[in-house]
Amino acid sequence: MLQLDSLSKNFGGLPALSQVSFTVPEAKLTALIGPNGAGKSTLIHCITGVLPSSDGSIFFKDQEITGLSAHQISQLGISRTFQNLRLFPRLDVLNNVLTGLTNQGGTSMLMAMLRLPYLRHRERQLKLKALEALDRFELGEKASWPAEVLAYGDKKRVELARAIVGKPDLLLLDEPVAGLNSQETAAVGEQLKMLRRKGHTILLVEHDMELVMDIADQVVVLDSGRCIAIGTPEEVRKNPLVLEAYLGKMEATA
Residues that bind Mg ion (CB under 5 A): 40-41, 83
Select 130 or 171, whichever has its Cβ closest to ligand ADP: 171
Please report whether residue 41 would count as binding ligand ADP according to CB under 6 A. yes
Q: Which of 40, 80, 136, 196 binds ligand ADP (CB under 6 A)?
A: 40
Supply the minimum distance, in Å, between the C-beta of residue 212 and Mg ion: 15
End-to-end CA distance of the chain: 40
Please report whether residue 48 would count as binding ligand ADP according to CB under 6 A. no
Select 50 or 119, whichever has its Cβ closest to Mg ion: 50
Select 83 or 239, whichever has its Cβ closest to Mg ion: 83
What are the CB-based long-range contacts (under 8 Å, 24+) for 51-56? 51/9, 53/7, 53/8, 53/9, 53/17, 54/8, 54/9, 54/10, 55/6, 55/7, 55/8, 55/19, 56/4, 56/5, 56/6, 56/7, 56/8, 56/19, 56/20, 56/21
Supply the minimum distance, in Å, between the C-beta of residue 125 and ligand ADP: 37
Q: Which of 34, 56, 168, 189 binds ligand ADP (CB under 6 A)?
A: 34
Number of Cα atoms under 13 Å in the Cβ half of residue 186: 2
Q: Residues interacting with ligand ADP, by CB under 6 A? A: 11, 16, 34, 36-42
